[in-house]
Structure 1
Amino acid sequence: MTVSPLSSGWLRRFSSEARDGTTLVCFPHAGGAASTYFPMSKLLAPLVGVCAVQYPGRQDRRSEPPLDDMAELADRVTESLAALDPGRPLALFGHSMGALLAYEVTRRLEAAGRLRPVRLIVSGRRAPGLPGTRPDLHGQDDETLLAELRRISGTAEQVLADEELVRMLLPTLRFDYKAVECYVPPAPGDGVLSCPISVFTGTEDGHVSPEEAAAWEAYTTDSCDVQAFPGGHFFLQTRREEVASAIVGRLRGRPAAVGRRADCPT
């Protein structure tokens, strides 16, 4: 894995910057790390340059205390993006927890005006403000958290079987779940973006219904398109090439469908 000089603080770049291309800032899911997007960065190069956000409390930042507040996370990431070239097109991509955080960072970037994203791509997450469908997890016992990890199939079983790795993962996961579960969304009518939004979902994802995905349309004055990929909550892992192709299409101005649901064929 090649890491560029930009890889310090909050951002990790795993490949060389795309020539005359868009920079895509990627936000991991709860419990995830920047390395989640290393395979995706290889698929998107050289058309799109990927910067992945590294949350504190994991991998090379494991000695730092995790953060459990979405607003603070968004503020810190927004500050870190000042290192990016303002003359290069910028887009944001986030999966699950990362989708909410990418949305909040986009709000801050648009308000500041220096780096205005050309598109926000959210994946595996219902629109902000919709009621949750499951009990809070950050206060549950270890077995409940492990059961949830196995249910959504986002963590390899061999990792869950490693007691040392599990002990390292669970505290950070609790912080991430707390950030999501205590997130306060904007009031209705507030928090509306000016950039287009693309929404990716899994056809078998019990966390996001078609209606909940389509509800992102209320959060932009521009276009909003929804595309479903075969798979569950972590369809990014099983449909990586199709997702990469969809990202390139969006960033080249070729959404699958504007304002309606578009399904990716099996």
Structure 2
Amino acid sequence: METAVYAKSTRNEKVLNCLYQKPDAVFKLICFPWAGGGSIHFAKWGQKINGLLEVHAVRLAGRETRLEEPFSDDIYQIAEEIVTALLPIIRDKAFAFFGHSLGSYIAFVTALHLKEKYKMEPLHIFLSSAPAPQSRPQVPDLNKLSEEQVRDHLLIFGGTPKHLIEDQDFLKQYIPLLKADAHIVKKFIFNKPSKALLSRDITCFIGSEDTIKDIEDNVVYFSGWKDITSGKFDVHKLPGDHFYLMEPDNENFIKNYIAKCLELSSLDCF
């Protein structure tokens, strides 16, 4: 029995990375990575974020300590695995989700799974650089692109240092991971719901110079998220490209905004 409990605990730690544990934290912030991303970037948020928040970053199969595991191509299976790992840490705490790009879609499907199966919802869902899924976001078929075209794609989107994009060894390891994650988005077909599926507030953050540059179209493209929830919907445009959150000022804004929102949301719940 003890062995089974230990194995389950170890498995949960593989899926969720918490570098800075805060036993007295009021909120759990669960962060979901972008395509090709790991857990480290968001796990480090736990060091310099409001003391009321404990940060857990999702680690997907095929990277970091899960390097030997095959990539998953089913967003619903990914969400189910995350929910299994999450349940022990969110049962007695208020929690929120933050996802960037691909991570926004995984966060959304995870939230749906939690509500449908366990009647639980995040206090607030924060989404970044991700148009609403029913808008059918365009994802290039990386399997049909040459290595040079993939490099150009990475340069356009930002987020990957140029010296790494020019590193052959890095690309040899990174491109299969990126292709696998991009395939998840291409497979994810979601139709506009006839009624709200969630009841909590959703906030979107977008970069002003993301690939969709027309301001009016940009806002419309992202505002479809308001159809997902009966709660409030808000959009914040910050300077930068698809990976605008790599800028320290933008990152600090997001972390402070999340902390303030959760404090206010928790008051509204009582």
Shorter-chain TM-score: which interval? Answer: 0.7 to 0.9
For normalisation by structure 2, the TM-score amounts to 0.86
Instruction: Compute the displacement of 1:32 (Å).
Output: 0.3
Distance across 2 between alignment mates of 1:68 and 1:181: 10
Instruction: Compute the displacement of 1:10 (Å).
Output: 0.6
Q: Which of 232, 240, 251 is 2:251 aligned to?
A: 240
**100-109 vs 183-192, which deviates more?**
183-192
Distance across 1 between alignment mates of 2:73 and 2:62: 11
Instruction: Compute the displacement of 1:18 (Å).
Output: 5.5
- Count of equivalent residues: 251
Please report the RMSD computed on the Cα atoms of aligned residues, expressed in angstroms.
Answer: 2.1
* Equivalent position of 1:223 in the other structure: 232
Distance across 2 between alignment mates of 1:122 and 1:66: 23
Q: Does 2:92 align with 1:87?
A: yes
Q: Which of 62, 76, 81 is 1:76 aligned to?
A: 81
Q: Which amino acid counterpart does residue 54 of structure 1 have in structure 2?
A: R
Distance across 1 between alignment mates of 2:12 and 2:42: 14
Conserved in 1, the CA contact under 8 Å of 2:193 and 2:228? Answer: no
* Equivalent position of 1:130 in the other structure: 135
For normalisation by structure 1, the TM-score amounts to 0.87
Q: What are the superposed Cα offsets for residues 133-187 of structure 1, whole Å, 9 maximum, x if unpaired?
A: 4543344332222211111111011212222121111111110000011111145
Q: Does 2:209 align with 1:200?
A: no
* Equivalent position of 1:262 in the other structure: none
Instruction: Compute the displacement of 1:7 (Å).
Output: 6.7
Q: How does 1:108-127 map to 2 (within 5 A)?
A: 108-113=113-118, 115-127=120-132
Distance across 2 between alignment mates of 1:9 and 1:27: 14
Q: Does 2:161 align with 1:156?
A: yes
The unaligned stretches of length 5 or more in structure 1 are 255-266
Conserved in 2, the CA contact under 8 Å of 1:139 and 1:174? Answer: no
**Richer in helix (by share):** 2
**240-249 vs 48-57, which deviates more?**
240-249
Distance across 1 between alignment mates of 2:212 and 2:71: 25
Q: Which amino acid counterpart does residue 248 of structure 1 have in structure 2?
A: A
Q: 1:143 to 1:69 in 2, by over 3 A?
A: farther
Instruction: Return the index of the structure with the highest Cα Rg.
Output: 2
SS of the residue corresponding to residue 228 of structure 1 reads strand
Q: Does 2:152 align with 1:147?
A: yes
Q: Does 2:220 align with 1:211?
A: yes
Task: State the identity %.
Answer: 26
SS of the residue corresponding to residue 25 of structure 1 reads strand
* Equivalent position of 2:4 in the other structure: none
Q: Which of 97, 106, 111 is 1:106 aligned to?
A: 111
Post-superposition, which runs of at least 4 consecutive aligned residues in structure 1 deviate over 6 A? none
The unaligned stretches of length 5 or more in structure 2 are 1-9, 266-270
Instruction: Compute the displacement of 1:114 (Å).
Output: 5.3
* Equivalent position of 1:50 in the other structure: 55
